[in-house]
Amino acid sequence: MTYLIALLLSLALLIVGIIKIKVHPFFVLLFSALAYGFMTGMDIETIINAVNNGFGDIMGKIGLIILFGVTIGKVLEKSGGAFVIASKILAVIGSKSIHLAMLITGYILSVPVFADSALLIMNPLNKVLSKKAGVSFAGTTAALALGLTASHTMVPPTPGPIAAAGILGADLGSVMIYGILISSISLIACYFFATKIASRIDLPIELETVVTKHEKPALWKSLLAIVIPILLIVCKSIMDYPEFTFEPSIFKSLISFLGTPVIALLVGVLLSLVLPKKLDEKIFSATGWFGESLREAAPIIFITGAGGIFGRMLQNSGIADTITSEFTGMQLGLFLPFLLAACLKTTQGSSTVALVTTASIIAPLMGPLGLSDPLMATLTVLSIGAGASVVSHVNDSFFWVLTQLTGMNVKQGYQIQSAGTFVFGVTSMIIITILSKILV
C-alpha cells in the first residue's frame, strides 16, 4: 500500500498547493511528482531520469500541437473569423431557436478558441438575441456555456483533450470522431436542462453594455483553419485503421504526412493567415497575435510537461503492479479515470489540469485496468474529459468569467453553470459506458 498512500499524499499536495497556497499548477505538479518519487524510495538517478524523460517525451509528442491549436484560435478571434462563424450559425438556425443556436455556436467556437474568449465573443450576441426573441437570458446563457464546455473538454484540437490523448497514446483522429459523437449526444440533455430548468431563473439583460465591432472576413476563409486540419487528421486515422487496406501511393503518403496532428495544425495556422486584411507585425511580432498565442499556450504546455513527469514517476515506481493486485476483480475500468478527473476538477477548478493530471496517473495503469486496447484508450481520454467537466464552480476561472459577464450572482452561477456541467459530465459518462459495452 506504500505506493497508493504516496499517490494520495501527492494528490493532496497538488490540491492544497493549487487551492490554498495558490502556487502555479506547473510547479505543484513538479513538486508532487518529486515528492512521490522520494516517498516510494526511488534512487536519485531514477528520479532525475523521470523528470527529464517524462517532460521531454510529452513535449516531443504534443508541445507544438498545443501551440498551433492556440495560434489558430487566436487568429480566428482577433481577425473576426470566429464572430463570422458565430453569426452565420445564428442566421441559419434562426432567432426562434436561440437556445439551440447558442448551444451549437458555443460547441463549434470552443474547438479552436479558448472557452473564455469564445464566451466574450458570444455574450453580446446572446444578450441581443435573447432580448429580441423574448426568451430567458439564463436559459440561453446555460446553453452557450454548456456548448463551450462540451468541446473544451472532449473535442481536439482543444488543448486538454490533445494533451490527454498524447499522454495515453490514443489516436487523435479516433478521439476526434468519438469525442464529437459522445459530446454531441450529451448536448441533448444539456438542451433540455437549458430550456426546462435554467430558463426558470430570472436573469435581467443589461443591453447598455453591448458593444461589438468586428471585421468581417468571408465565412469560407474563417472555416478553412478549422475544417481542413480536422479532415486531414480524420483521413489519416481512417487510413491507419487495421480494418482498411490501402495500397501504397503518393496520395496515401501525402495524407499520412499532412494528417499527422502536428503537420495538420501547422497547415491550419498557415490557412488562418488568409483571414487578416494585412500581414504585418500586428500578427507576427512578439507583441502581436503570434506573441499572444505563445503566452497563452506556454502555461498549458508546461503543465502538460509536468504531468508527463508525474506519469513517468508513477510508471517507474511500479504502481501498476500494485493496482493490479489491490483492485483485481473490482472492474473499475473507465470509471476510475472519470471519478479521478471529476475529483480533481471539482477540487482545483481547471479542466485542463484535471485532464493532464488524470491522464498522467492513468497512463501506467492502462493495462491493469483493461484499457490498453486502442478503442478503450480513446474512450479513456473521453471519460477523463467527461470527468473534467464535473463540476464548474467558484474555484474555476470560467465560472467567474461567466457570472461577471452576464450579471449572475454566485447562487445563480451554481444553479446554471455548476448544475449544467454536472448534467453534461454524467450524461457523457453514461454514453461512454454504453458504447464500451456495445463496441468492445
Q: CA-based diameter of the chain, in Å? A: 66
Q: Give the domain range for residue 36.
A: 2-439
How confident is the model over 355-376, as a mean pLDDT? 87
- Decide if 219 contacts 83 (C-beta within 8 A): no
The grid cell for 204 is 435581467
Q: What pTM, to 2 d.p., does this model score?
A: 0.77
Amino acid present at 29: L
Cell 465591432 locates to 213
Pairs from 365-373 (Cβ < 8 Å, separation ≥ 24): 365/319, 365/320, 365/323, 365/336, 366/168, 367/320, 368/320, 368/321, 368/323, 368/324, 368/327, 369/323, 369/332, 369/333, 369/336, 370/331, 370/333, 371/333, 371/334, 371/337, 373/440
Q: How far is CA 198 from CA 139, 140, 202, 222, in A?
A: 5, 8, 9, 32
Where are the extended beta strands (E) located within 345-411? none
pLDDT at 327 over 60: no
- Decide if 345 contacts 390 (C-beta within 8 A): yes
pLDDT at 329 over 70: no
Highest averaged pLDDT of the listed ranges 77-91, 139-153, 198-212, 303-317: 139-153
How confident is the model over 311-337, as a mean pLDDT? 69
Q: What is the pLDDT of residues 143-193, one digit of tens each?
A: 999 999 999 999 988 888 988 998 898 998 899 999 999 999 999 999 999
Q: What is the pLDDT of residues 216-261, one digit of tens each?
A: 788 898 888 888 888 888 888 778 766 666 777 888 889 889 988 8
The span from the CA of 230 to the CA of 226, in Å, is: 7
Position 95 scores a pLDDT of 63
The grid cell for 337 is 479515470
pLDDT at 75 over 80: yes
Pick from 364, 354, 439: nearest CA to 396 = 354
Question: How many CB atoms neighbour CB 258 within 10 A?
Answer: 18
* Cβ-based neighbours of 171, under 8 Å, separated by 6 or more: 165, 237, 240, 374, 377, 378
* Cβ-based neighbours of 316, under 8 Å, separated by 6 or more: 37, 42, 46, 49, 50
Position 90 scores a pLDDT of 76
In this predicted model, which residue has the larger pLDDT, 182 or 354?
Answer: 182
Q: How far is CA 274 from CA 75, 76, 277, 354, 391, in A?
A: 10, 10, 8, 35, 38
What is the sign of the dihedral through the CA atoms of 318, 321, 325 and 330?
positive
Position 115 scores a pLDDT of 80
Give the confidence band of 321 by pLDDT, cuts at 50, 70, 90: low
In this predicted model, which residue has the larger pLDDT, 386 or 403?
Answer: 386
User: Assign residue 179 a region: left if phi > 0, alpha if psi is -120 to 50, beta otherwise?
Assistant: alpha
Pick from 94, 169, 152: nearest CA to 401 = 152
**Lowest-confidence segment of 110-124, 187-201, 340-354, 385-399 by average pLDDT:** 110-124
- Decide if 303 contacts 25 (C-beta within 8 A): yes
Q: What is the pLDDT of residues 387-431, one digit of tens each?
A: 999 988 876 878 888 887 788 888 899 899 999 999 999 999 999
- Decide if 379 contacts 432 (C-beta within 8 A): yes
Q: How many domains does the chain have?
A: 1
